[in-house]
Structure 1
Amino acid sequence: MGLRAIAPNMAPDVVTNIDRRLEAIRGQNNVAIPIAIESGSRAWGFPSPDSDYDCRFLFVRRLEDYLSPWVKRDVIETPLEGVFDVNGWDLGKALKLMLKGNAVILEWLTSPIVYCGSASFRTHFLDLAHRYASRDLIGLHYLHLGERQRKTYFGDTQNVAQKKVFYALRPAAALRWLRGRPDLAVPPMHFPTLIAEIDPPSGVREIVDDLLLRKASSRELGFAAVPRPILDFIDNEFLLAQSAFGGGRIHAPAKAHADAETFFRETVLRFAEGAQA
């Protein structure tokens, strides 16, 4: 079954252009694309009217390319052009990063915006992630991401571009979600869904709803102090995460590597036939 899920607020001409770019990538690079999604603020659920389109995809090369001693690059990058940002990873790269605790691939696999893809491919990859992604490593990923964004965008907390608050708020919410679910490792990518599932402290939900509403309708939210409930929430979640994550499994078990390799082989054999000759 083919996947396709385009948000109603996405410009049809831009989506058509992205479809054409993906088709060109297939032909020019001799690859199949088992999934292509939107990864930026549009998929996170807090776009501005002028947000870029951040298309990300996974690709599979021809079987003969994987059998060659001259290994091809595991990324395909296209030039930034206007609102278009279209780049992808080889399936092998994505699998290795998932097992190393990189949450980016988990977000790609759970993006609510899909340009094209195979439902069975996404289901099987997500099954691997649910079984083998390390909660501790995913938690550390969001902790380091959030601390970096906090330091970069509002270190002084007083004169802050309000739209930048989301860049630290989203990792903080993901950390709270993970702490409340000790058996799960894949938080929702969609930020409104994430907030709805974490039961934030009093006052946080109301401020978040207001920021989301204003960001959706304005190109610029202006500068102001970070609201105290939001700042306390972010800093508290980062503090709690420092002791909550990192004490468990760090290295993927041998079975994870074996199952990932099986998935890789099966996927290459399935999709390599669809790569351009």
Structure 2
Amino acid sequence: MQDTLAIAPAVRADIEARLAHVASEDGVRLLMAVESGSRAWGFPSPDSDYDVRFLYIRPRRDYLALKPVRDVVERPIVDEIDLNGWDVRKALGLMLKHNAVLSEWIESSIRYIADDPVVEQLADLANRHFNPRGYALHYASLGKGTVERWLDPGGEIAVKRYFYALRPALSVRALRLDPSRRPPMSMVPLMQAADLDRVLVDQVGELIARKAKTNEAGNTIRLPDIERLVADELSRAGEVPERADNTNFAEEAEALFLELVEKE
């Protein structure tokens, strides 16, 4: 679902212009361009960056060249706009490793260009073949890396630090409860998928409201209920069932990539 209200029209126009410039300057065709970060996750601050992420494909000749072409396109952050994109071959390779990042990009509600039809095919491929255990371990690794920075009890903590651990923890929980579905990207539907009790829902809601009014460095008091939830869920990623890799997964990904390249 497109979200045209979350991004100010002037900012959206700037981002769209920058994306068009990237496509022209780097000689690529954009397949998808979305917001990925606190604005798409549902807990932005007034000064949050615009984390613009995109998929692209190069002309067929680039994939046949003796010298491999770099598989990412990046631009320096200017006016809080951060542009970063992956070659579709890189994206498919990471999907085969059950990296959850592409899954999130596909699910983003904030989109800057119309999706190429291949995006729907990527979503279908991920739905049919993703490994819930692989996703859970991915999220647990993200969350634990953040938790290590705020383990000391007492005092205050940056609100964003809570969210950067809480979102991965809720993703693990959602996968435990329903391993047949990729976890939602945005916080509110993620809380629903994680079946949180009302006390926790209210606490997270208060954190979202606080973050919406303060800068990225804004602090909050420690919240033991949330910290216990985070610690518990990040330790339970191993409980999420494994889905054995299907040989068809790699074959379908390869066929999808070759079909795309043949059209360029």
Instruction: Say yes or no: TM over 0.5.
Output: yes
Output the TM-score relative to the length of structure 1.
0.89
The match for 2:239 is 244
Identity percentage of aligned residues: 38
Structure 1 residue identity aligned to 2:251: A
Output the TM-score relative to the length of structure 2.
0.93
Of 195-204 and 86-95, deviating more is 195-204
- Measure, in 1, the Cα distance between the counterparts of 2:102 and 2:187: 16
- Alpha carbons of structure 1 residues 20 and 36: separation in structure 2 relative to 1, 3 Å: same
* Gap runs ≥5 in structure 1: 273-277
Structure 2 residue identity aligned to 1:133: F
Structure 1 residue identity aligned to 2:222: V
- Measure, in 2, the Cα distance between the counterparts of 1:180 and 1:72: 41
**In the alignment, structure 1 residue 229 sits paired with structure 2 residue 225:** yes
- Measure, in 2, the Cα distance between the counterparts of 1:31 and 1:86: 14
- Measure, in 2, the Cα distance between the counterparts of 1:7 and 1:214: 23
The match for 2:261 is 268
Question: Does the CA-based 8 Å contact 2:53-2:84 persist in structure 1?
Answer: yes
Q: SS of 1:5's equivalent?
A: coil
- Measure, in 1, the Cα distance between the counterparts of 2:220 and 2:60: 54
Tell me by how many angstroms 1:97 deviates.
0.4
Which of these residues, 14, 28, 37, is aligned with residue 17 of structure 1? 14
The match for 1:127 is 124
The match for 2:206 is 210
**In the alignment, structure 1 residue 170 sits paired with structure 2 residue 167:** yes
- Measure, in 2, the Cα distance between the counterparts of 1:118 and 1:223: 37
Of 219-228 and 192-201, deviating more is 219-228
- Measure, in 2, the Cα distance between the counterparts of 1:194 and 1:33: 28
Q: Deviations over 1:188-226 (max 9, x none)?
A: 101111012221145211101111122123326743442
Structure 1 residue identity aligned to 2:239: A
Q: Deviations over 1:63-91 (max 9, x none)?
A: 11112222100001111223010010000
Alignment of 1:57-68 (within 5 A): 57-68=54-65
**In the alignment, structure 1 residue 33 sits paired with structure 2 residue 27:** no
Structure 2 residue identity aligned to 1:257: A
Q: Deviations over 1:87-125 (max 9, x none)?
A: 100001000101102111110111010001325222110
Of 4-13 and 94-103, deviating more is 4-13
Tell me by how many angstroms 1:5 deviates.
2.9
Which of these residues, 74, 77, 84, is aligned with residue 77 of structure 1? 74
Question: Does the CA-based 8 Å contact 1:136-1:249 persist in structure 2?
Answer: yes
Structure 1 residue identity aligned to 2:94: L
Q: How many aligned positions are there?
A: 263
Of 199-208 and 186-195, deviating more is 199-208
Structure 1 residue identity aligned to 2:191: I
Question: Does the CA-based 8 Å contact 1:33-1:117 persist in structure 2?
Answer: no
- Measure, in 2, the Cα distance between the counterparts of 1:244 and 1:255: 26
The match for 1:275 is none
Q: SS of 2:114's equivalent?
A: strand
- Measure, in 2, the Cα distance between the counterparts of 1:180 and 1:10: 33
* Gap runs ≥5 in structure 2: none
- Measure, in 1, the Cα distance between the counterparts of 2:108 and 2:234: 24
**In the alignment, structure 1 residue 190 sits paired with structure 2 residue 190:** no
Alignment of 1:47-62 (within 5 A): 47-62=44-59
- Measure, in 2, the Cα distance between the counterparts of 1:31 and 1:220: 33
Greater length-normalized contact order (CA 8 Å, ≥ 6 residues apart): 1
Tell me by how many angstroms 1:156 deviates.
1.0
- Alpha carbons of structure 1 residues 236 and 60: separation in structure 2 relative to 1, 3 Å: same
Aligned-pair Cα RMSD in Å: 1.8
- Measure, in 1, the Cα distance between the counterparts of 2:232 and 2:32: 36
Q: SS of 1:48's equivalent?
A: coil
Question: Does the CA-based 8 Å contact 1:157-1:225 persist in structure 2?
Answer: no
